[in-house]
Amino acid sequence: MRAFTSPAKWLAGISPDAAALLIQAAADMALIFDRQGIVRDFAFTADEFGLAFTGTELWLGRLWRDQVTIESRPKIDDMVKAGQGKAPPAGRQVNYPAAKGNDIPVLMSVQPIGQTGLTIAFGRDLRAFAALQQRVVEVQQSFERDYARMRHIETRYRLLFQMTPEPVLIVDIANLKITDANPAARQTAGAKAKLIGMTIAEFFAPEAAAGLEALLAGVRSTGRADDIELQPLGGAAMRASGFLFRQGNAQSMLLRLTGGGAAPGLTDTKAKLLQLVERVPDGFVVTTTNGKILATNEAFLEMAQLHGQAQAQGQQLDRWIGRPGVDLGVLLTNLRQHGSVRLFVSSLRDEFGAETPVEISAGAGPDGSEPTYGFAIRAIAQRAVAPAGEPRSFPKSLEQIIELIGRVSLKDLVREATDVIERLSIEAALTMTGNNRASAAEMLGVSRQSLYVKMRRHGLIEAETVGIE
């Protein structure tokens, strides 16, 4: 900071009016208060800034500390003491009650006026800075949520990748080198083998070269290749399936090897997998092909308010998921036809009748004498359409109505669709008539009073609105 070297020489002739203008120009707001902290005068640079405050007409002759929020009053006391000869404090942020919305943050600094006993307080509007800070906080929270979600996804991937009993390799398509392998693949290659960095050709026996070339050609051309017989080096022949996927600008292949047949039902390895899956924050349920529960994780038990697995085992999944006989039937049909279901929107009822919106992804286990289905259940309560206690909002599009199929009865669906069409017709008529309600009622073939009733029901006008154009 650099002060004027000769203020008495250059500023001696400034009149009080000019000094007032300089003070106003130096800050968004300025206050003059006495030794007791009573406001004697104040000014705002911009009228719109002054209008944001509440009760400014009562500021004169009252204590400055009574005009700010409670947490800012100790700061005001410090600044009032600065006008009594003590060292003036650095700028302090204080909050004023606003006429509308959130409190108004203002950066205040004070300067005593000679020996008059009066002090000037200069204020800077911090609303833009506070809005920027809030935006930074929201962005940071968004990054943290995205990071947590990615960590959960990575955890599930590593869990399934490490615990699957079948050998699985991740291969870089560009150089055909193995970038990742699960323990089953390492066991197939031998305990001493170092798979990471090895080319895929070195993993298989020389006589498997032709089949490997066919698999790679299929993956490169169509993105996948299924059931090609390949023989790992030093092992028995296995069936190989390859799937192409992209990571950024690089392409990789997931190579899955299977033996002569899958073990039926839940093997010991799968039981261990379920024990680890219990730590996943989303619910996970394993069922038979008819929806009877075989095993669940702790997250599902918590979502359904169950005390232990014994309460769930042997029960039908639709006791807790969706409408009985509807949602589960749709899921099972799709699993039989396609082998997997993604992001199926339904609801979960706990033992006390409370419902929570959920998304369900499901997959079919390997074919065998006793195939199984796995259901991953994620709560999406934060995406609920309307909070409890508020009136329900109607669907605004055909897609939203379709999402209700299977969750509400046909009678309710028809009523929802009718309400949507009625609201859209009223809005269109008002738009075409320039918001002339009398003309809109005539265009729709209803009375004006009936139109007002329908508009109030759809929230297009306030309930107390009356009158006829």
Q: Terminal CA-to-CA distance of the chain, rounded, Å?
A: 66
**Spans in the chain with pLDDT lower than 50:** 1, 260-267, 384-394, 463-469
Could you tell me if 45 and 24 are in contact, meaning their C-beta atoms sit under 8 angstroms apart?
yes
User: How do the domains of the chain map onto residue ranges?
Assistant: 16-125, 166-258, 268-383, 398-457
Dihedral (Cα; 319, 322, 324, 326), 10-degree rounding: -140
pLDDT one-digit tens code per residue, 234-275: 777 888 888 888 877 888 998 988 874 434 444 455 556 655
Q: Which residues, including other chains, have CB under 8 Å from residue 9's CB and lie 6 or more apart?
A: none
Q: Which of 280, 72, 268 is nearest to 160 (CA)?
A: 280
User: The pTM is what?
Assistant: 0.35
Q: What is the pLDDT of residue 414?
A: 80
Q: Dihedral of CA 429/434/438/439: which sign?
A: negative
Q: What is the pLDDT of residue 10?
A: 65
Q: What is the pLDDT of residue 263?
A: 40
Could you tell me if 336 and 342 are in contact, meaning their C-beta atoms sit under 8 angstroms apart?
no
Same fold, 16-125 and 398-457: no
Q: Which of 240, 280, 242, 258 is nearest to 374 (CA)?
A: 280
Q: What is the pLDDT of residue 388?
A: 42
Q: What is the pLDDT of residue 87?
A: 58
- The CATH number of 16-125 is 3.30.450.20
CATH architecture of the domain formed by 398-457: Orthogonal Bundle (1.10)
pLDDT one-digit tens code per residue, 59-84: 888 899 988 889 989 888 888 887 66
Q: Where are the beta strands (DSSP E) in 23-89?
A: 29-33, 39-44
Topology adopted by domain 166-258: Beta-Lactamase (3.30.450)
d(CA 94, CA 107): 6
d(CA 57, CA 60): 7
Q: What is the pLDDT of residue 63?
A: 92
Q: What is the pLDDT of residue 384?
A: 45
Q: What percent of the chain has pLDDT over 70?
A: 81
pLDDT one-digit tens code per residue, 362-374: 988 765 556 788 8
Q: What is the pLDDT of residue 392?
A: 46
Could you tell me if 120 and 23 are in contact, meaning their C-beta atoms sit under 8 angstroms apart?
yes
Angstrom distances, CA of residue 28 to CA of 68, 71, 105: 17, 22, 12
d(CA 374, CA 296): 10
Give me 171's structure tokens.
């291969």
Q: What is the pLDDT of residue 462?
A: 63
d(CA 200, CA 211): 12
d(CA 29, CA 116): 21
- 400 phi and psi, to 5 degrees? -70, -35
Beta partners for residue 363, in sequence order: 340, 374
d(CA 445, CA 422): 13
- The CATH number of 268-383 is 3.30.450.20
As a whole number, the mean pLDDT across the chain is 80
Q: What is the DSSP string of 204-249?
A: B-GGGHHHHHHHHHHHHHHSEEEEEEE-BTTS--EEEEEEEEEETT
